Structure 1
Amino acid sequence: MFRGTLIALSLAAASMASAETAVPKSQAEISLGFAPVVKQAAPAVVNIYAKIIRQGRASPLFSDPFFRDFFQGRAAPRKRVENSLGSGVILTEDGYVVSNYHVVGMATEIRVVTTDRREFEAEVVLGDRENDIAILKLFGAQGLPSLDLRDSDQVEVGELALAIGNPFGVGQTVSSGIVSGLARSGTATGNARGYFLQTDAPINPGNSGGALVDVNGDLIGINTSILTRSGGSNGIGFAIPAKLVAEFLRQAQDGSIAFQQPWAGMSGQQMTVDIAESLGLHLPTGFVLSDLHPLSPFAKAGFRAGDVITHMDGQEVNSPPEMKFRMAVAGIGGTALVTRYRGGASDQVDVAMHPAPDEPSAQETTLDDYTVLPGLTVARANPAVIVRLALSVSTEGVAVVDPGPLGNRAGIRRGDIVVSINGHEIDAPPDVQRTLTDPGRWVRMVLNRRGQSVSLRFRL
C-alpha cells in the first residue's frame, strides 16, 4: 500500500504542471511508474568515451645530465593509452554538456554518444579538478534535447530521485531512490571535496557525470561518487548540486577557460557545542572565523577573528566546504548577503565576491642555468599565489612554485617557503636568484613547510 502511494505521488508530479498531488484514476496510470519522467529526461543523458594518454614512469636518473649518457640507445618510457567511460548531461540545445572532471578532464580525445546513437567529437571548454566538474562543447551540435536546471537549494530530504547513466558500460540505465541527505561535505571519494546531495539511488562506475533528476524531470545534481568499501553501490551516492553546475555553465558560455572562484581570504572552523556555549549561542551552528588576510573581502567588510557566519544569501553555513560552495554559486562580480553573529547579536553584511588579487606583485622568478638549481621557480606569497599553492591564508614570504629537477632531488617541495639560504634571509624572489648564483661549495637552506621548519644541506 505504501509503495502504491509513492508511485501515485511520482506520477502526479511528473504529469501535472502544478505541484499538487492526485490519485491515479486507473490501473493503467499506476503501471506507468516513472516512465513519463524517463522519456522526458533520458534523451539528454549521454555516454562519454574519453582517451587519455599518459607518459610511462621514467627513472629519476633520466633527469640527471651525468647519468643520462648511460641511457643512450635505450628507449624512453613508452606512453600508455587509458580509456575512460562515463556519462554526461546535455544542458543546452547547441551542445554544452556537463560531466565529471575525473572522466574527461585529462582526455586527449572525447567522443559523446546520444541515446539516438548520434556521435559527436567534443572538447573541454571549462574544467575544475577540485570541484570535479567539466563543461564540454560538442562540435556541430544543434537542436539537442536538454534538461532544465532546478534550484538545488529547494531540494528536500525524502524527495524521489532518478539516477540516469551508463553503469559498467552496459548502456543507459535508470535507478530510483530518494534524496537521503543535504549539505554533505568532505565525505565523497574521487577529486571532489565539496558540497553534495546524497541519494540512495544506486550509482555505479560509469554513472559518473550522469543525471540525478526529480520527478518532474529537472536536473538536481550530477552523480559523482559513492561511499563504498567493496567497490559496489551500497546506497550512499553523492551528486554535485545543480546550482553549482549552473554557475559553471554560465562561465563557460561567457568564454572563461578556468573556473573563477570567489576568494574568501580567511580560515575558520565548524561550530562545536563548547564554542557555542562560550559565545552564547543556543545551538552549535555556524562557521567561526579564526584568521583573515588583510586583503580579504570579509576583512574589508568589517569581519574579524571570532565572528560567526551563520548564513549566506539566506542559506545556512556550517563548514568550510559549505562556505566555499555558497561563494561559488554567488559568482564573481556580485555580492553575498552574509549573516554575522558577534557579541550576542546578529546583523547582515554585504560582502563583495571577487577572485584572489595578484597583489602585491608576485615577482615570479625561474632560476637560469647560471645558478646551482636551474628550473627552481619561486614567487611572492600574495593572495593569488596562496590560492594557487593551497597555502595557509596567513602565509608570507617567498614560495616555491616549482622545485625543478635538481631542487626536487635536493628535497625542495612545491609550496615550501624559503626562509634563508646560506644564512641570508630571503625577502623577495630575486634574493633566491642572487644567493644561488655563486653560493660556494655547500648550500644550506631553511624552509617553512606547512608550519614546520625544514633544513636542507647539500654539496655542489
Structure 2
Amino acid sequence: MTRRAVLVGCTGGVVALVVLAGGCSMLPAVPDPVPTSVVPSDLPQQTPTSSGNLSPDGFDSAQRMAVRIRNIGCGTLSTGSGFALDDHTLVTNRHVVTDSSTLQLSTYDGRDLTAAAASTADLADLAIVRTEDALPAAPELAAADPAIGDTVTVVGYPLGRALTVTTGHVVSSQTDPLNENLGEVLVTDAPVEPGSSGSAVLDSDGRVVGVVYAKDSKGHSFVVPVSTLRSMLEDEASFTPTAPCTG
C-alpha cells in the first residue's frame, strides 16, 4: 500500500502533499527586501548530542559537509538542509530551493556562504546549488544503495536550527509516492522533522547513501537512493537552471 507522504521542508510546519513543477534559475545578484520573519544567520551553534552510527572521524566530516538553507521567496520563508558534493556544489531537494528570491546558506560553525546559482531536477526531488564560497568538506558517495535492515544516519538542520544527527534503519523500499516516474525509493525510521529536507543519509563509514525528501504520518522518512543521485549527476540534462520568483 502506498503511504501518504509529506515534504519535509520547513515553513513553520510540514508542507502538505504536493507535486511541485520543475524548473530552476540563476539566483538574483541583489535579493528583494528580507521578510521580517527571517531568522538571523547568527543562530547559536550547538554541538549535536549524538554522533549517530558514525565514528568520531566520520562524524567530524559529516557535520562539516552539512549546510543549512534558507529560501527567501516573494513574501515567504522556508528552511531546509543540504550537503556538499564538492568545493562549490551542494545537493538538496527541489522543493527546498524552488520559488526563491534568494538563498541563504550557512555551515555548522556559523559561517555564511554565498549562493551563485541553483538547478533542479524534473525526475526526482533533487536540486544542485553552486556556491561562490568554498564549502568546508565533501563526503564520498557510496558505490551502492544500502540494504534493507542497514543502519543509517541522517545529518541535517530540522526546523532550520542546530545541526542534528539521528539514526535508524532502512525498513523497506517502495515506489516514490511523490514522483511515481522516479521508481524505487528507500524508507527509513530515522527521525526527521520539517527542515530536514535535503539531509544526507550516511552509512557507518560516513558515505552518502541517499537524500531525505519526505516523511509519512508514521514517522518514516523517504530517501532518494544514492544510485539515483549518481545517475542524475552523470547526466547534465537532468538539472535545469531555476528562475527567481516574481511578485
Please report the TM-score for the alignment, with normalisation by the length of structure 1: 0.38
User: Counterpart of 1:164?
Assistant: 155
User: Counterpart of 2:20?
Assistant: none
SS at match of 1:258: strand
1:257/1:161 CA distance change after superposition, 3 Å: closer
Between the two proteins, the alignment pairs up a number of residues equal to 188
Residue 257 of structure 1: how far off its partner (Å):
5.3
Residue 256 of structure 1: how far off its partner (Å):
7.3
Specify which of 206, 214, 219 is matched with residue 217 of structure 1: 206
Q: Distance in 2 between matches of 1:34 and 1:131?
A: 28
Higher helix share: 1
Q: Which amino acid aligns with 1:239?
A: V
Q: What is the CA deviation profile of residues 134-183 of structure 1, one whole-angstrom value per residue up to 9, with x for unaligned ones?
A: 100011326x3001111344x2111110011111223110111111113x
1:94-113 alignment, distance < 5 Å? 95-113=88-106
Q: What is the RMSD of the two structures over their aligned residues, measured on CA atoms? A: 2.4
Q: Structure 1 residue 174 and structure 2 residue 165: aligned? A: yes
Q: Structure 1 residue 39 and structure 2 residue 60: aligned? A: yes
Q: Distance in 1 between matches of 2:223 and 2:109?
A: 26
Q: Which amino acid aligns with 1:206?
A: G
Which consecutive residues of structure 2, in runs of 5 or more, have no partner in the other structure? 1-50, 242-247
Q: Structure 1 residue 187 and structure 2 residue 177: aligned? A: yes
Q: Distance in 2 between matches of 1:167 and 1:32?
A: 15
Displaced runs of 4+ in structure 1, greater than 6 A? none
User: Counterpart of 2:240?
Assistant: 258
SS at match of 2:204: coil
Q: Distance in 2 between matches of 1:105 and 1:114?
A: 21
1:5-404 alignment, distance < 5 Å? 34-36=54-56, 37-53=58-74, 81-93=75-87, 95-141=88-134, 144-153=136-145, 155-182=146-173, 184-188=174-178, 192-193=179-180, 194=182, 195-228=184-217, 234-251=218-235, 258=240
Contact 2:187 2:220 in 1 (8 A): yes
User: Counterpart of 1:300?
Assistant: none
User: Counterpart of 2:6?
Assistant: none
Q: Which amino acid aligns with 1:185?
A: T
Q: Which amino acid aligns with 1:258?
A: T
1:251/1:118 CA distance change after superposition, 3 Å: farther
Contact 2:191 2:219 in 1 (8 A): yes
Residue 209 of structure 1: how far off its partner (Å):
0.3
Q: Distance in 2 between matches of 1:131 and 1:207?
A: 17
Contact 1:51 1:84 in 2 (8 A): yes
User: Counterpart of 1:321?
Assistant: none
Q: Distance in 2 between matches of 1:89 and 1:128?
A: 17
1:187/1:208 CA distance change after superposition, 3 Å: same
Q: Distance in 1 between matches of 2:128 and 2:53?
A: 32
Residue 186 of structure 1: how far off its partner (Å):
3.6
Q: What is the CA deviation profile of residues 282-335 of structure 1, one whole-angstrom value per residue up to 9, with x for unaligned ones?
A: xxxxxxxxxxxxxxxxxxxxxxxxxxxxxxxxxxxxxxxxxxxxxxxxxxxxxx
Q: Distance in 1 between matches of 2:82 and 2:52?
A: 26
Which consecutive residues of structure 1, in runs of 5 or more, have no partner in the other structure? 1-30, 54-80, 229-233, 260-460
Q: Distance in 2 between matches of 1:152 and 1:124?
A: 29
Contact 1:105 1:134 in 2 (8 A): no
Q: Distance in 1 between matches of 2:229 and 2:176?
A: 19
1:240/1:106 CA distance change after superposition, 3 Å: same
Q: Distance in 2 between matches of 1:82 and 1:213?
A: 31
Q: What is the CA deviation profile of residues 51-106 of structure 1, one whole-angstrom value per residue up to 9, with x for unaligned ones?
A: 111xxxxxxxxxxxxxxxxxxxxxxxxxxx1111000010112x110100001022
User: Counterpart of 1:388?
Assistant: none
SS at match of 1:40: helix
Q: What is the CA deviation profile of residues 112-131 of structure 1, one whole-angstrom value per residue up to 9, with x for unaligned ones?
A: 10112221121444212441
Structure number with larger C-alpha Rg:
1
Q: What is the CA deviation profile of residues 170-217 of structure 1, one whole-angstrom value per residue up to 9, with x for unaligned ones?
A: 3110111111113x11435xxx44331110000111100011100010
Contact 2:62 2:139 in 1 (8 A): yes
Q: What is the CA deviation profile of residues 352-392 of structure 1, one whole-angstrom value per residue up to 9, with x for unaligned ones?
A: xxxxxxxxxxxxxxxxxxxxxxxxxxxxxxxxxxxxxxxxx
User: Counterpart of 1:351?
Assistant: none
Please report the TM-score for the alignment, with normalisation by the length of structure 2: 0.69
Q: Which structure is richer in relative contact order (CA contacts within 8 A, separation 6 or more)?
A: 2
